[in-house]
Amino acid sequence: MLWEDRVNPAGSCLYDLVLALWVGGISIFTFVVTPAIFRSFNRDMAGQIVGKLFPGYFLYNLVLSLLALGLLLIGSHASDVRYRLSLLLTVGAIVINLFVAFRLHPEIKAVKEAIHSFENSPPESPLRKKFTLLHAVSATLNLIVLADGVVLLLIRTGLKK
């Protein structure tokens, strides 16, 4: 059984909070904050603003996935299938978050800096095409980590029934 709620209610609550922050944080940044910035500023300025937010966003995601792993390791039973699935999903999120923060984001940042202005460079330029591809990979991985967190929440809430 994942989290013996009766034995360690504080750990159980903390795990729930971490998952809520994980899913809520990604959802707000992805579906509210970023679109609002791009609606409010020209493309180059919006890109600069979001670019300044990314390091903190990636650290936030990584820290929450590491906290979830730690809480899983200290609060669950390894024999439970839901525990093993939760562990797999959490480790997967950590791997993705590490890749995005330390490999993909620096590469995207370098390509973005080489472009100088998205408003003044043609969409068919090699750098723009590379940026578009890297951005698509980043956005896809972001949605995977979001879905990962949602599944973890579903596993968690399914256990309380």
The whole-number average pLDDT for the span 88-102 is 99
Would you say residue 67 lies in a domain?
yes
Would you say residue 2 lies in a domain?
no
| All residues at 6 or more sequence positions from 16 whose CB lies less than 8 Å from its CB, including other chains | 156
The whole-number average pLDDT for the span 71-97 is 90
What is the reported pLDDT for 5? 52
**Do the beta carbons of residue 101 and residue 115 sit within 8 Å?**
no
* Tally of domains within the chain: 1
The residue among 63 and 13 whose pLDDT is bigger is 63
- Write out the residue range of the structural domain in which residue 108 sits: 9-159
Q: How many CB atoms lie within 10 A of CB 52?
A: 9
What is the reported pLDDT for 160? 54
**pTM score > 0.85 for this model?**
yes
The rounded percent of the chain whose pLDDT value lies above 90 is 81
